[in-house]
Amino acid sequence: MNRTKDSSTSLRIAIQKSGRLTDKTVDLLHGIGIDFDNYKRNLMVKTRNFDVELLLLRDDDIPEYVQDGVCDLGFVGANVTRETQADVTVLRGLNYGNCRLSLAAPKSADIRTADDFDGKKVATSYPNLTRDFFGNKGIDVQIVEISGAVEIAPQLEVADAIVDLVSTGGTLRANGLIELETIMESETELIRTNHELSPGKKELIERFMVRMDGHLQAGKSRYMMLNAPKGSVDEIKSIIPSMKSPTIVPLAEDEMVAIHTVVPFNELWLIMEKLKEAGASDIVILPIESMIL
């Protein structure tokens, strides 16, 4: 039987249509079991196995769509949300699309600190964040708002210096600019509308967040299996403080046990070295797809 979905009850999620955040956001959604395709050709995509519609937008429009309740959730850079001053709630920082909004000036100019910007022309696509930054310091700048290729503004004598996003710093260097100070660090965030939602949508968001947190936690963890002499189990437990209730299985070989547990990825190598010293052997590490604690 064909059942049509009531679109008013579907969760609407805004993602960037085509840009730096698109692939990682699509991977993340696929990673939490939300199936869809054709997102490159359509502006709206229905997903197959979760009551979600995806809206594919320019990143600049995402905070406003979420603020206005056109979309319930959105994936977008913190830089864009702060610049648009949208009234939304940040649910999670997602640690991709990382960059920083920085002041930069030509190597040849004698602008080296924020104070040197007094009375200068600053080109940027981030007029609000730039105005706030200098305003808070009591520094008077003239903002020249441009939407792209900000880095060449000083060469074109449109401005004395710039405020722009930086990730590797390669673009600044290629244009003879020096990075002077960071205005804000940015990452992709999951934002939620502040509009009152129906109980059905609230429940969908809760389910979505359980999957999301499981996926994010899994990305930071690894499954570890090892063999150890029975006598070293206590020492091994003390090496892995997060190990609340490891699975301990006796092995055919007397006096040996197999231990299975989950360890934080960022401590993995340190833990393995200590385990080896404590007598562990045959240590195997596996990625985890998802986990619900």
Question: Which amino acid belongs to residue 31?
Answer: G
CA separation, residue 106 to residues 120, 148, 180 (Å): 13, 18, 10
Q: What, of Zn ion, ligand PRT, none, does residue 21 touch, CB below 5 to 8 Å by kind?
A: ligand PRT
Q: What, of Zn ion, ligand PRT, none, does residue 63 touch, CB below 5 to 8 Å by kind?
A: none
- The reply to whether 165 sits near ligand PRT by the rule CB under 6 A is yes
Q: What, of ligand PRT, Zn ion, none, does residue 20 touch, CB below 5 to 8 Å by kind?
A: ligand PRT
Q: What, of ligand PRT, Zn ion, none, does residue 266 touch, CB below 5 to 8 Å by kind?
A: none
Q: Which of 47, 186, 193, 261 binds ligand PRT (CB under 6 A)?
A: 186
- Stretch in the footprint of ligand PRT (CB under 6 A) among 46-54, 169-177, 236-244, 247-255: 169-177
CB of 77 to Zn ion, least distance (A): 9
Binding residues for ligand PRT, rule CB under 6 A, total 21
Binding to Zn ion (CB under 5 A) within 40-99 occurs at 59-60
Q: What, of ligand PRT, Zn ion, none, does residue 239 touch, CB below 5 to 8 Å by kind?
A: none
Handedness of CA 31, 34, 35, 40 (dihedral sign): negative
CB of 197 to Zn ion, least distance (A): 27
Question: Which amino acid belongs to residue 98?
Answer: N
- The reply to whether 171 sits near ligand PRT by the rule CB under 6 A is yes
Q: What, of ligand PRT, Zn ion, none, does residue 38 touch, CB below 5 to 8 Å by kind?
A: none
In the chain, what is the straight-line distance between the N-terminal and C-terminal CA atoms, in Å? 36
- Stretch in the footprint of ligand PRT (CB under 6 A) among 6-14, 74-82, 235-243, 259-267: 74-82
Query: Two tokens at 219?
Result: 């990305």
Which residue's CB is nearer to ligand PRT, number 62 or number 111? Answer: 62
Q: Which of 79, 102, 130, 175 binds ligand PRT (CB under 6 A)?
A: 79
CB of 129 to ligand PRT, least distance (A): 12
Which residue's CB is nearer to Zn ion, number 178 or number 184? Answer: 184
Binding residues for Zn ion, rule CB under 5 A, total 2
Binding to ligand PRT (CB under 6 A) within 97-156 occurs at 97, 99
Contact residues for ligand PRT (CB under 6 A)? 16, 19-21, 58-60, 77, 79-80, 97, 99, 164-171, 186
